[in-house]
Chain A
Amino acid sequence: MKRRTLLKTAAGTMLAAGMATGLMAGSAFAQDTIKIGASAPKTGPLAGGAAVTYWPAVQLWVHDVNERGGIDVGGKKMKVELIEYDDKTSNEEAIKNYQRLATVDKVDFVIPPYGTGINLAVAPIIAKNGYPHIAVTAVADGLEEFVKRWPNTFWTLGTSQGMAQGIVDLLKKMKDDGTINNKLALVSVADAFGIEMSKTAKPAFEAAGFDIVYETSYPLTQQDFAPIISAAKNAGPDSFVAFSYPPDTFGLTQQATIADLPIKAYYTGVATAFPAFAQANGAAAEGVLGIGGVNADDPKIQDFIKRQKEVTGVEPDYWASPVQYASLQVLEQAITAAGSLDKQAVIKAIGDSTFDTIMGEWKFENNIITKFWTAGQWQGGHFKGVASTGLPGEVPIILKKGWK
């Protein structure tokens, strides 16, 4: 009997001591750190993309801010404490995570999730808790209406119409210059991205005077791309455009290499801008066009790529990674501009201020960044931006010359 009481007392004391330390630590933190919460896939279908584009950029930013002593809030430097959760690529889980961040962890700000659907699904909860919502990896149409309903949301990566129009304009210019003929093969994945892109691109190509000699769409889980490539080869176009997703971007390009597809302009979708694309395709990657792009000659971008590799061990992609980092620079500079952690003041600062980011100077127009990269090209081992909606640093495009 006695022994049990003793044990109970000991356990109770330890528990109380533990709680006391926890509380003390908590109150000490609350004075000089900013708590920032993040939730994105660490498991599930989108985990692979988030592991390249989302988490490393977030880690690098937290590392950078703390190394320089913290964020300037009304003259006082405050360090950043990051709280991260896995949303398992599920809407319910993501909503719950942001509720937990807002009401249990009581974070000062949140970093929105990865992926279009999840970003839109958590928007009402983030808005309800009063946080600014600077979305990156979310590309959807009809954002203007969304912004009207949730004025705390900000969109940075561009629109699918803009992206599709970018490649159309690029190829039209080449055709008008006489470097390619008017025959085009158009391929798209039968999922949100491919459908929305080809909806804009197909009529635009036709209006630009292109003759679509081969057109097809394939399901998301397609493995064998030999029929598509050989049919495209038989149709004999100068340009090949595929609005594809990560596994298919690799599959199509590998098949094109095997078939030695004779083509002058070759474009694929998501993941062309991933460093893994160049690693997987070696010399065949040279001259491949893809969605995204960065100002490759900008020292800020070069510094970002170098440091992310050093700090996190993960090489960034040449599209959304720097935008993810830039979105956090926006948050940081808006907090400093507001001079406080007041969420409403920070939202106002994001909407009103001009930001100096690694993507260049950013100013939101009705909560949307309207100047963005639409297409890039692998040139000499780097993925360089070749088309944008009015950004500096576009490099001249080169013709695709063989696959070796």
Chain B
Amino acid sequence: MTPLLATVTRKEARIALFGAAALAVAATLPLFDTGFYLSLALNVAMYVVLCTAWTLFSGPTHYISLASAAFFGIGTYSVALGIDTLPFPLLVAVGFVASAALAGLVGIATLRLSGVYFVIFTLGLAELVRQVVTWAQTNFTHGVGLYVFTDFTETHIYWMLLALAAIVYVTGWLVNRSRLGFALRIIGNDETVARHVGIDTARAKVLLFMISGGFIGIVGACLAPRFAYVEPPSAFNPMISFQVVIMALLGGTGRLWAPLLGVIPFTILFDQVSAYFPNHTSLVIGIAFMAVVYLLPRGVIGFVDDMRRLKKRFRIVLVEDEGALGKERAS
């Protein structure tokens, strides 16, 4: 095998450089504002990581998972339960392992299902885990709420999420060029074919589901200090699962960076809507959502691809019309 770095193409190197520069620029934000814009950027960063981690699995396999809230909550609870006894980085690792383990269990049980059965199961999963946690707290601990007192500010959490975003992108890139990534693309296109050419489809899907779930768990772990108080309804909020799917689909799932195109504009759009129409948020967001789905049926990434194609065609037309244009300019 050739060493990893030697196989990086020039285009990939260019993208990596551009990505690193973008991250570096984003990381300077707290130097300018630690108020509202940092909070908004933190929410954007949170959903960027969540949606990208979600796309890691759901992009190539086309399985819609609504289990994000379950993994997120497990990460949050890993930190909340251990914050008084263990160092924070270790707890983040615990969050990753616990979420990945849950994803593995769920994957083994359900990834043989496909289509709507999988969606329904993952939807129930977050609620199931939430009830189990509540039950455990009822019977083995005192209250239901847990305080998470740390010295982390929003700036620290924001930087943690940016670092995590970088890790998720690199992981996604590595998976994509591995045998696993190739296997998943085949599964996504036709699972029967994949099985016939000798791919262990269940194993591949479970592995990737674990990676994806583990990262979502880390996001939950990183955000626990932001909320100061952790209780099942906020940790296992089903809205997280839906938001992740909506934003990822709005961006498009064809490429790893496509969710970015959904998360950034739509977080800002939703924010503006709730700032200017505080009493009609649901109505306006509903209309905006319908408009987006109607105008951009393949997500923002589809629109970007269309524009590129159009530009190419336009360039050809330009070359043909150059003479005519030149005359017009002269007159």
A residues adjacent to B (C-beta < 8 A):
42-45, 84-86, 88, 90-93, 95-97, 99-100, 102-104, 116-118, 120-121, 123-125, 128-129, 140-142, 145-146, 149, 190-192, 195-196, 199, 217, 219
For this complex, 17 residue pairs linking A to B, each with C-beta atoms less than 8 Å apart, are A85-B274, A88-B239, A91-B237, A92-B46, A100-B275, A103-B35, A103-B36, A103-B37, A104-B36, A120-B145, A121-B227, A125-B154, A140-B229, A190-B138, A191-B134, A195-B143, A217-B138
A interface majority secondary structure: helix
B310 to chain A: closest CB distance in Å?
A: 24
Tell me the residues in window 264-304 of chain B with beta carbons closer than 8 Å to chain A beta carbons: 271, 274-275, 278-279, 281-282
Contacts of A118 in B (CB 8 A): 234
Return the 4 tightest CB-CB contacts between A and B, nearest first: A103-B35, A120-B229, A99-B39, A192-B144
Quick one: CB contact mask for B45-70 with A, threshold 8 Å, 1 for yes? 01000000000000000000000000
The answer to whether A84 and B35 have CB atoms under 8 Å apart is no
Q: Is B135's beta carbon under 8 Å from chain A?
A: yes
State the majority secondary structure of interface residues on B: helix
Contact A117 B231 (CB under 8 A): yes
Is there contact, CB below 8 Å, between B36 and A121? no
Taking A86-B279, A103-B35, A117-B229 as contacts, is the C-beta distance between A192 and B274 under 8 angstroms? no
Residues B43 and A191 in contact, CB atoms below 8 Å apart: no
The chain B residue with its CB closest to the CB of A119 is: B229
**Residues of A contacting B46 in the complex (Cβ-Cβ under 8 angstroms):** 92
> How far is A92 from B36 in the complex, measured between Cα atoms in Å?
12
* Residues in B whose Cβ lies below 8 Å from that of A86: 274, 278-279, 281
For chain B, the bracket of interface size reads 35 or more
A304 → chain B closest CB, angstroms: 24
Considering the chains assembled together, what is the distance between the CA atoms of A35 and B96 in angstroms? Answer: 44
Taking a contact as CB atoms under 8 Å apart, the answer to whether B228 and A124 are in contact is yes
Contact B271 A88 (CB under 8 A): no
| Minimal Cβ-Cβ distance residue in A for B225 | A124
Residues facing A in B214-232 (CB within 8 A) are 226-229, 231-232
- Residue of B135, B231, B274 near A190 (CB, 8 A) is B135
B143 touches A141 (CB 8 A): yes
Residues of chain A with a CB closer than 8 A to B274's CB:
85-86, 88, 93, 97
A192 near B231: Cβ-Cβ < 8 Å:
yes
Nearest CB of chain A from residue B132's CB, rounded to whole Å: 11
Contacts of B278 in A (CB 8 A): 42, 84-86
Pick the contact of A85: B142, B239, B275, B282 (CB < 8 A). B275
B43–A92 CB distance below 8 A: yes
A219 CA to B132 CA, complexed, in Å: 11
Residues A99 and B279 in contact, CB atoms below 8 Å apart: no
Enumerate chain B residues within 8 angstroms of A140, measured Cβ to Cβ. 143, 145, 229
Least CB distance from B76 to A in Å reads: 10
CB distance from A158 to the nearest CB of B (A): 15
* A43 x B137 contact (CB < 8 A): no
A106 to chain B, nearest CB (A): 10
A45–B275 Cα distance when bound, in Å, is: 20
Question: Is B117 located at the chain interface by the 8 A CB criterion?
Answer: no
> If A140-B143, A145-B147, A195-B143 touch, does A42 touch B227 (CB 8 Å cutoff)?
no
Q: Are A121 and B234 in touch, CB under 8 angstroms?
A: yes
Q: Is the CB of A190 within 8 A of B228?
A: no
Question: Beyond A120-B145, A125-B39, A190-B138: 12 further Cβ-contacts under 8 Å?
Answer: A43-B281, A85-B274, A86-B278, A88-B274, A96-B271, A99-B35, A116-B145, A121-B234, A140-B143, A140-B145, A141-B145, A192-B231
Within the complex, the shortest CB–CB distance from A223 to chain B, in Å, comes to 15
- For the complex, what is the distance from the CA of A88 to the CA of B273, rounded to whole Å? 12
Q: In the docked arrangement, what's the CA distance between A129 and B34, Å?
A: 11
Instruction: Return chain A residues, CB-CB under 8 Å to B164.
Output: none
A100 near B36 with CB under 8 A, answer yes
Asked if A121 contacts B35 (CB within 8 A), the reply is: no
- Closest-CB distance, B205 to chain A (whole angstroms): 30
Would B144 and A195 count as touching, CB distance under 8 A? yes
- What are the interface flags for B118-145 relative to A under an 8 Å C-beta threshold, 1 for contact and 0 otherwise? 0000000000000100110110001111
Nearest chain B CB to A183 CB, angstrom units: 24
Alpha-carbon gap, A84 to B279, bound state (A): 9
* Docked pose: A170 CA to B1 CA in angstroms: 78
Q: Which residue of B lies closest to A55 (CB)?
A: B279
Question: B33 at the A/B interface (Cβ < 8 Å)?
Answer: yes
| Least distance between B37 CB and chain A CB atoms (Å) | 8
Query: How many Å lie between the Cα of A219 and that of B130 in the bound state?
Result: 11
Q: By the criterion CB–CB under 8 Å, are B282 and A43 in contact?
A: yes
Q: Are B239 and A90 in contact (CB under 8 A)?
A: yes
When C-beta atoms are compared, the residue in chain A nearest to B283 turns out to be: A43
Shortest CB distance A59–B (Å): 12
Q: Indicate whether B40 reaches chain A with its CB closer than 8 angstroms.
A: yes
**CB distance B39 to A190 under 8 Å?**
no
Cα separation A85 to B239 with both chains bound (whole Å) = 19
Q: Do B281 and A123 touch (CB < 8 A)?
A: no
Q: A199, B228: Cβ atoms under 8 Å?
A: no
Report Cα–Cα, A117/B229, bound state, in Å.
Answer: 7
Asked if A117 contacts B234 (CB within 8 A), the reply is yes
| CB–CB A42/B281 < 8 A | yes
Q: Is the CB of A192 within 8 A of B279?
A: no
Which residues does chain A contribute within 8 Å of B173, judged by CB atoms? none
User: Which residues from chain A contact B227 at a C-beta distance below 8 Å?
Assistant: 91, 117, 120-121
In the assembled complex, how far is the CB of residue A153 from the closest CB belonging to chain B, in whole angstroms?
11
Task: Give the CA-CA distance A242 to B263 in the complex, in Å.
Answer: 44
B82 contacts A by Cβ under 8 Å: no
Chain B residues with Cβ below 8 Å from A123 are 228
User: Across the two chains, which residue of chain B brings its CB closest to A140?
Assistant: B145
Contact A199 B143 (CB under 8 A): yes
With A and B bound together, what is the CA distance between A96 and B38 in angstroms?
A: 9
Q: Is the CB of B39 within 8 A of A96?
A: yes
Cβ–Cβ contact A102 & B237, under 8 A: no
Contact in complex: B233, A117 (CB < 8 Å):
yes
Chain B residues within 8 Å of A196, by CB: 143-144
A225–B43 alpha-carbon span in the complex (Å) = 40
> Contact check: which of A45, A95, A149, A219 meets B39 at CB < 8 Å?
A95
Return the contact of B131 from the options A44, A103, A117, A219 (Cβ within 8 A). A219
Q: Are B282 and A195 in contact (CB under 8 A)?
A: no
Chain B contacts of A43 at CB under 8 A?
Answer: 281-282
Asked if B149 lies at the interface with its beta carbon under 8 angstroms from chain A, I say yes
Residues of A with C-beta under 8 A to B271 = 96
Chain A residues closer than 8 Å to B40, beta-carbon distance: 96, 99
